[in-house]
Amino acid sequence: MSKVVAVVGATGVVGREMLRTLERRAFPAKQVIALASARSAGKKLPFAGGELTVQTLGPESFAGVDIALFSAGAGTSREYAPIAAKAGAVVIDNSSAWRMDPEVPLVVPEVNPGAAAVRPKGIIANPNCSTIQMVVALKPLHTAARIKHLVVSTYQATSGKGQAALEELRTQIGDIAAGRTPKAEIFPAQMACNLLSDWKPGSDGYSEEELKLVNETRKILEDQEIAVTPTCVRVPVMTGHSEAVHAQFHRPMNAKEACELLRNAPGITLVEGDYTPGGEPQPLAAADTDPVYVGRVRDDLSVSGAINLWVVADNLRKGAALNAVQIAEIL
């Protein structure tokens, strides 16, 4: 059945990817509405061989809307998601606003699709980009042996911080090439040729981003006993998050078994073979593709029964827009 779909934050980097994903996957929409702030009203966005005219987001924007895809920040989601739900739309929200609300399911279709069916507030939350790709890779392993402890270090692309961050990185690269001193306005320090932890403080010395990996993983996998040790870092990559994951289980797991479980798992492309320099999944190759790539699956050298793996995905696709549209598809 065809649906009326609204994309809130349509002019942002994820909003534009949502539109491309709806088109690319031929989502059964009889109408797609592009919504954004007043300053973007009237802009034209390409869609399905034509154009969408951006409309100003307001309380009356959701009349007749069946599905509302939100990617406009937590503040906008907190204000407008309940309005959209009250108007009859199912809200799929990409912000952090509703993820840990006990009455809002946190859904990754390859992991917990059934959770989307129970949505007391009419809202479904899209997890954080770094969480999504990790739990897609870990779900088959967790089902087989139940995860006990994760140590995850992320290498996150600048597109996760938005369009302005991408533009600042490009400008900084140009400044360095021209012999000029780069300026940092969007980032807390120079991003080009550098690494940053640029998220808001959380608690106990961790950033908000790191705590999302802890709390969201437990909620999605429905296991509050999973221990998660996170370190999140921004890298001067345009698109594509990478993660080094160490996983311990309640029973021993080895690399051979892990590969057997991952080889045909939904949403995963497993990169196998002996180690070779440059043979691992890379963010440059993952950009503009849908899978979660898993490679370098190894037995841990110091913890018996534990494994290490390398996980890469396009943070704008599977880490945001694609996951949201997949949720809309399973509704």
Q: Which of 142, 149, 232, 241 is catalytic?
A: 241
Asked whether residue 1 carries a pLDDT value surpassing 70, the answer given is: no
pLDDT digits (tens, 9 = 90+) for 191-218: 999 999 999 999 999 999 999 999 999 9
Q: Tell me phi and psi for residue 190, to 5 degrees.
A: -60, 130
Q: Which of 129, 142, 232, 246 is catalytic?
A: 129
Does the annotation mark 246 as catalytic? no
Does the annotation mark 241 as catalytic? yes
The pTM for the full model equals 0.95
Asked whether residue 109 carries a pLDDT value surpassing 70, the answer given is: yes
pLDDT of residue 2: 83
Asked whether residue 142 carries a pLDDT value surpassing 70, the answer given is: yes
DSSP per position, 105-145: -B--TTT-GGGGG--TTSEEEPPPHHHHHHHHHHHHHHHHH
pLDDT of residue 180: 97
In the numeric block, which tokens belong to residue 293?
A: 């790539």
CA dist 299 and 249 (Å) reads 12
pLDDT digits (tens, 9 = 90+) for 262-316: 999 999 999 999 999 999 999 999 999 999 999 999 999 999 999 999 999 999 9
